[in-house]
Structure 1
Amino acid sequence: MFKCGLAFPRCRWILPLLLLLAIIFDIIALAASSGWVDSKYHYASLWDQYRGREPNWESSSLMEYGWAKASAAMLIIGCILLIICFILSFLALCKQQAGLLRVIGLILCIAILMQVISLIVYPTKFTETLIQNGDYEYSWSYGFGWGATILMIGCSVFFCCLPNYEDELYGQAKPIYIYEG
């Protein structure tokens, strides 16, 4: 009457969707014109900073600092690796190539490393170099960068573990029900 179990063939498309969500979060973090750092008289993105008051904002590029270039480059490399993993995940799940799943997990681990370094270097060097006094908040687009990284961590764990359940994933094994009623 009632059977409860995991339907691996139906659930296998969740991981590429989560990777797509992480790509969207990364693009938001990269393209946001403001939102990485906010305060009353100063705000900054990954690329530029603005100082002053409402009608007269003074703009300057953060790309004159080496740490800002490194942070942006690492975030872009992490996003490119994430896009590669997204494409490979469709190939692995459509062509039923379980060996490719661990490769995707390894590439995701490299992308995670790049993103984490970028998301730690930026606030550390920003506060050390540019903040003289006042209250600053790292806000929404910086949070999107961390959101993408957290999604990538979860997906990498699953991509590394999925080859252990290859038959269940591709619908070749008999389902094992947790509860039969």
Structure 2
Amino acid sequence: MSTDEVYVFRPFKLIALFCVFIALALDVVALLSPAWVTSEHYSLSLWEACRQSTDVWHCLSTLKTDWQVATLVLILTAATITLLSFLVSLISFCLGTYRRYYRIVAVLLFAAVVLQVCALILYPIKFIDSSMLRSYHEFNWGYGLGWGSAIFMLGAAILYCLRTDIYEDAYY
């Protein structure tokens, strides 16, 4: 690069890579969260349902009902796709071949968003429909982290769709 040339660095792809990392981290924490639905003496996660009776918590697996297994499979699949897209994005960014794979990463992330949103819509509908808890309950931070992960996945997918390279060549 000579002294007359100007290079404009637009960090959209780096920000997108960071968003995918945050989405993956939020997804892992949401999967491991013990609190998706809570009430005074009840806690429900993706893996187990716990009830408190006289200072002792009794937990049972939630993998017996089909809608909870479907939710878990959808979120695990979305997390796996997010991990794959993160690895492809990271490797292509480090090797400098980033333009070739960004469209693939964007499509993978849009697919992960669809799976994640389907799981996050299915979960409260089937929870309320099954009437597991007849008292006051609230969807807790584990469920919220699932939505946060979906938002970061969507943001990263949109950033990977931006084509800033074709506009830079026309000006410089």
Alignment partner, residue 24 of structure 2 = 23
Task: Name the CA distance, whole Å, in 2 between partners of 1:103 and 1:35.
Answer: 34
Alignment partner, residue 3 of structure 2 = none
TM-score after normalising by structure 2: 0.86
Q: 1:26-68, CA deviations, whole angstroms, 9 ceiling, x for partnerless residues?
A: 0000112x21001012111111111233512222111000111
Structure 1 stretches of 4+ with a deviation exceeding 4 A read 172-176
Q: 1:118-142, CA deviations, whole angstroms, 9 ceiling, x for partnerless residues?
A: 1111111122214342111101111
Alignment partner, residue 164 of structure 2 = 165
Give the 3 Å change call, closer, same or farther, for CA 127–174 of structure 1 in structure 2: same
TM-score after normalising by structure 1: 0.82
Larger deviation, residues 68-77 vs 124-133: 124-133
Alignment partner, residue 106 of structure 1 = 107
Percent of aligned pairs sharing the same letter:
25
Q: Cα RMSD over matched residues?
A: 2.1
Q: Does residue 1:75 correspond to 2:48, yes or no?
A: no
Q: Does residue 1:56 correspond to 2:50, yes or no?
A: no
Task: Name the CA distance, whole Å, in 2 between partners of 1:134 and 1:175.
Answer: 63
Q: 1:129-170, CA deviations, whole angstroms, 9 ceiling, x for partnerless residues?
A: 143421111011111111000000111111122xx22257xx
Q: Which runs of 5+ in 2 are unaligned?
A: 1-7
CA-CA distance at 1:173 after TM superposition:
4.5
Alignment partner, residue 3 of structure 1 = none
Larger deviation, residues 62-71 vs 84-93: 84-93
Task: Name the CA distance, whole Å, in 2 between partners of 1:133 and 1:97.
Answer: 52
2:9 to 4, 7, 10: 7
Alignment partner, residue 137 of structure 1 = 138
Give the 3 Å change call, closer, same or farther, for CA 75–117 of structure 1 in structure 2: same
Task: Name the CA distance, whole Å, in 2 between partners of 1:174 and 1:90.
Answer: 28
User: What letter matches 2:43 in structure 1?
Assistant: Y
2:89–2:105 contact (8 Å) kept in structure 1: yes
Task: Name the CA distance, whole Å, in 2 between partners of 1:82 and 1:136.
Answer: 31
CA-CA distance at 1:22 after TM superposition:
0.8
CA-CA distance at 1:13 after TM superposition:
1.8
